[in-house]
Structure 1
């Protein structure tokens, strides 16, 4: 099949705070960047509600995707320079795979919806499936651009996202325990949140990456750089991504969308501003155009309109989200989780509908795992290549990584209105507030 890979007359560069310059050399990459589907990612925040905690975290999925593309380009350059394939079965890098790797890297987050994970939970969407659908649908500009390379090229790119592409080196560049996606978002998110937890030596890691028949490995003399990356990722999850206040705002957002959906299903949105772009999601009949019509700004506009909505719960939750009024939280354990129904009941007696004003939120991460073929979603372990060419799994040679291997870390929190912790001496429910606070401070971890 004829492959059309046209180079630009002159390399185009994009300024970037993480990578300095992002280099675009292929026409297909520039054409993909200019599609309406990719430009939409400018209007979707990378970190969702984390910007309510870390005020600098206003960066977008667009900038992240550009960064993942650039890291993938650097990997391809390194492989072609130092490990070019000579024979078909030598396990080294075949540079014919470059363009599919670059396109998959650029488009890997194409299917993210507004406020990503909260939106997915309410409307049961999967951004990876939507990414594949946008790439393979003839309706999209993305598909039309990819088909200019070859008629089956969109399916090839989508298979990289699905992790079914035949070349495991390409798949692992985009999706593994140490890939271009993770490396960019750790550095980018650390930069924009103003934290240092996610910093690691990207230059060194790229230098020690090498292809082999089974995928990608790392030279033994670069093991400590890889080890540092794993620890940085662990710290970012615990200190930034799992921050209780960010999760408190995500709970408000989740309950807000849930209330809007419930009102619509009970025909209580008639006669007011109908959220027409959300209706397909309320009715579970979403097509590609419906999905791509949404971004963070669209949701925020609806929330602003709902400040005047006659339903007090929708109005209040909209106000809380737009003015940064997160729910408060207390950490619970297996020993104390049996108290949660009682706490929720107290919240309801105090005047808050517990369905919309209480929630549990669980945030756990597995910092590093070893390959287990019996798992439903087994992870590709990090392989260290010895001087004799043999491979050894990272945690067997790193005590630090071994200490994190297979350990699911995080916490479980019960979220509730901040008012439950305030003084209400003149309130008829003051006794309930006191009772709630007694349970929280005596039994839970604030």
Structure 2
């Protein structure tokens, strides 16, 4: 099993993740947050093996062998965990949202990536999930060749596992669930790398309480012994929520991410308007994607944090580049960041309900901008959930009869609301923040 994991790690598809930071731009605030998606993926694979072996061991006296993960299934879930972040681009969330776009041409990407035959399997997949799927299916790629050399059909099995179409089918929740190997790794790793006091939970105890139960529809599910696991599950969920509030949604982290998003949005707009940014091997794939084109797996392997920083730096120092694009690039490179508009949360929430709020803010910001004001305003809506929203991701406690019930329904966790908590922030040029704040308060002249 270890040989397969090591061989997969050596492929270019996995090695690209070495050049993609796990926490994007969090290192601007937390200097230790330099770890990559590769080390997170490796940690997830290790935990996948531990969880799967635990399920196999505790299920021996409860279920027939055909319903339990054997050596092959344990290997598959380890490889799938290793590949679960395969499709993430540079600064994945900002890139996917602002360059690829939420309304990306799905059919064009499916055709270009050569995965038309698996359209049904990837139905509803996000862009990065589709890209990861395509890299696994890429017949000319080293990863696909390696997996097929190991065992015919292995690549397809891994793709099915990542999409939740696998036997034993409950293994999919180890990769995508309220308590899964992805979260189990990144909570502890991100807390350690950023140095925050949050994010601690008893991993060994959590694994030891893991088992297989039956839900209300008589399906087998992964769950945790309610006699032993309530506090460690609570600890896990609290740790995750605390990290979102203090690290992932830190105001400065979101500010710089918003500025990079504005840079990428401006890049998209100037490319679509016909501007030429050159055909450098680092720039060309970004230009193509920004223009709304689908690119091949070979070009996707160029998209990482390093090449994005080369792009930002080159634009920031190119006198021929678009003025707004160059100014945004310079600010990002120099860490000359926007500032948060200071105002009462309730007043801001009421202001943002107005259909004209954006035009009103841009009118104020425009007086201080060297370019179009829409590229100098970051709107940052935040939503945090304690429990998973998607029912397919719900975690379960198991009673003494192995009957499963959702975390959210357990009396011990009723103090935590299933409803989301939300707020919003605005960031803009430092010189404009005072006037914007006064305008929101209602006394701007």
| TM-score calculated relative to the size of structure 2 | 0.84
Who is 1:323 aligned against?
Answer: 334
User: Aligned pair in 2 of structure 1 residues 208, 273: CA closer, same or farther (>3 Å)?
Assistant: closer
- Tell me the matched-pair count: 401
Does structure 1 residue 216 correspond to structure 2 residue 231? Answer: no
Does structure 1 residue 438 correspond to structure 2 residue 438? Answer: yes
Who is 1:384 aligned against?
Answer: 397
Q: Indicate which of 56, 78, 81 corresponds to 1:105.
A: 81
In the alignment, the residues of structure 1 paired with residue 63 and residue 360 of structure 2 have an alpha-carbon distance, to the nearest angstrom, of 68
Q: Deviations over 1:151-187 (max 9, x none)?
A: 2211110112122224233101111000000010000
Tell whether the 8 Å contact from 1:280 to 1:290 is kept in structure 2 after alignment: no
Secondary structure at the counterpart of residue 391 of structure 2: coil
User: Aligned pair in 2 of structure 1 residues 219, 410: CA closer, same or farther (>3 Å)?
Assistant: same
Q: Indicate which of 40, 45, 49 corresponds to 2:16.
A: 40
Give runs of aligned pairs for residues 190-209 of structure 1, distance below 5 A.
190-209=191-210
Tell whether the 8 Å contact from 2:201 to 2:236 is kept in structure 1 after alignment: yes
Secondary structure at the counterpart of residue 138 of structure 1: coil
Q: Deviations over 1:127-160 (max 9, x none)?
A: 1111111111112111111112322211110112
Tell whether the 8 Å contact from 1:83 to 1:210 is kept in structure 2 after alignment: yes
Give runs of aligned pairs for residues 271-310 of structure 1, distance below 5 A.
275-283=283-291, 284-310=293-319
Give runs of aligned pairs for residues 42-191 of structure 1, distance below 5 A.
42-84=18-60, 88=64, 91-122=67-98, 123-124=100-101, 126-191=127-192
Q: CA RMSD in A?
A: 2.4
In the alignment, the residues of structure 2 paired with residue 32 and residue 172 of structure 1 have an alpha-carbon distance, to the nearest angstrom, of 22
Tell whether the 8 Å contact from 2:67 to 2:168 is kept in structure 1 after alignment: no
Secondary structure at the counterpart of residue 386 of structure 2: coil
User: Aligned pair in 2 of structure 1 residues 314, 138: CA closer, same or farther (>3 Å)?
Assistant: same
Structure 2: runs of 5 or more not aligned: 105-126, 214-218
Who is 2:216 aligned against?
Answer: none
User: Aligned pair in 2 of structure 1 residues 96, 285: CA closer, same or farther (>3 Å)?
Assistant: closer
Q: Deviations over 1:346-368 (max 9, x none)?
A: 10133352221113122213220
Q: Indicate which of 221, 233, 239 corresponds to 1:232.
A: 239
Secondary structure at the counterpart of residue 152 of structure 2: coil
Does structure 1 residue 343 correspond to structure 2 residue 369? Answer: no
User: Aligned pair in 2 of structure 1 residues 329, 62: CA closer, same or farther (>3 Å)?
Assistant: same
Give runs of aligned pairs for residues 13-28 of structure 1, distance below 5 A.
25-28=1-4
User: Aligned pair in 2 of structure 1 residues 104, 386: CA closer, same or farther (>3 Å)?
Assistant: same
Secondary structure at the counterpart of residue 48 of structure 1: coil
Who is 2:271 aligned against?
Answer: 264
Q: Deviations over 1:163-222 (max 9, x none)?
A: 222423310111100000001000011001111211111111000001235121111222
In the alignment, the residues of structure 2 paired with residue 76 and residue 413 of structure 1 have an alpha-carbon distance, to the nearest angstrom, of 42
Tell whether the 8 Å contact from 1:92 to 1:211 is kept in structure 2 after alignment: no
In the alignment, the residues of structure 2 paired with residue 161 and residue 273 of structure 1 have an alpha-carbon distance, to the nearest angstrom, of 34
CA shift for structure 1 position 291 = 1.0
CA shift for structure 1 position 410 = 3.3
User: Aligned pair in 2 of structure 1 residues 307, 208: CA closer, same or farther (>3 Å)?
Assistant: same
In the alignment, the residues of structure 2 paired with residue 119 and residue 267 of structure 1 have an alpha-carbon distance, to the nearest angstrom, of 20
Structure 1: runs of 5 or more not aligned: 1-24, 371-376, 422-433
User: Aligned pair in 2 of structure 1 residues 166, 327: CA closer, same or farther (>3 Å)?
Assistant: farther
User: Aligned pair in 2 of structure 1 residues 322, 350: CA closer, same or farther (>3 Å)?
Assistant: closer
User: Aligned pair in 2 of structure 1 residues 288, 198: CA closer, same or farther (>3 Å)?
Assistant: same
Deviates more, 1:236-245 or 1:406-415: 406-415
In the alignment, the residues of structure 2 paired with residue 278 and residue 77 of structure 1 have an alpha-carbon distance, to the nearest angstrom, of 42
CA shift for structure 1 position 259 = 1.5
CA shift for structure 1 position 270 = 5.8
